[in-house]
């Protein structure tokens, strides 16, 4: 069975409380539940993890090799400066889709640069929950095209 790893970066554990005008009122548990429901509909296994620690995210990416078919990653603030996460993505063969709840390109200047974008399959940003769901749908279609689900 194909497996997808969803990684949530720093402060995403505060969703629903943290700046709801930017990130909305859904909690991280709500997002994970919606992703799980959709994954089950198509026979996918989905694991979701959140960490505020850069090293934990790097280790999770490294350990995804041969264990997962896709990674959906919201690296949050690490998106803009973590060379360690960028290098971990480049080191594995698992395709990664970068996700952001908000439109990072319409926000503060420092959020416009993603150091991970050059090594991911693509980016979905600005659609709240639908950014995650869109990334999952892309992964599903790619896996279906490869007859993995």
SS (H, E, C) 28-69: HHHHHHHHHHHHHHCCCEEEEEECCCHHHHHHHHHHCCCCCC
CA–CA distance, 93 with 102 (Å, rounded to integer): 27
Mean pLDDT of 68-88: 97
Per domain, the residue ranges of the chain are: 3-145
pLDDT band at 50 (very low <50, low <70, confident <90, very high): very high
Mean pLDDT of 120-146: 96
Catalytic-role residue among 68, 78, 100, 132: 100
Question: What's the predicted TM-score (pTM) here?
Answer: 0.93
Domain 3-145 fold: Rossmann fold (3.40.50)
Whole-number pLDDT of residue 1: 80
Active site residue 100: yes
Long-range contacts of 15-21 (CB under 8 A, 24+ apart): 15/101
pLDDT greater than 90 at residue 2: yes
pLDDT band at 104 (very low <50, low <70, confident <90, very high): confident
Percent over 90 (pLDDT), the chain: 82
pLDDT band at 26 (very low <50, low <70, confident <90, very high): confident
DSSP 96-131: EEEEESS-GGGS-GGGS--SSGGGSSEEEESSTHHH
Catalytic-role residue among 8, 23, 68, 132: 23
pLDDT band at 122 (very low <50, low <70, confident <90, very high): very high
Active site residue 81: no
């Amino acid at each position: 069975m194909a497996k997808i790893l969803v990684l949530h970066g720093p402060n995403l554990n505060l969703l629903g409380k943290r700046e709801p005008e930017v990130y909305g009122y859904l909690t991280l548990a709500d997002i994970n539940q919606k992703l799980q429901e959709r994954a089950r509909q198509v026979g996918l296994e989905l694991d979701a993890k959140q960490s505020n620690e850069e090293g934990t995210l790097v280790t999770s990416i490294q350990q995804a090799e041969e264990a997962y078919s896709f990674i959906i990653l919201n690296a949050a603030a690490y998106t803009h400066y973590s060379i360690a996460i960028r290098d971990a993505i480049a080191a594995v063969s698992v395709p990664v889709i970068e996700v952001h709840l908000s439109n990072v390109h319409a926000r503060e200047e420092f959020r416009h640069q993603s150091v991970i974008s050059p090594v991911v399959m693509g980016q979905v940003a600005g659609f709240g929950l639908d950014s995650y769901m869109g990334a999952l749908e892309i992964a599903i279609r790619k896996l279906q095209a490869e007859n993995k689900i």
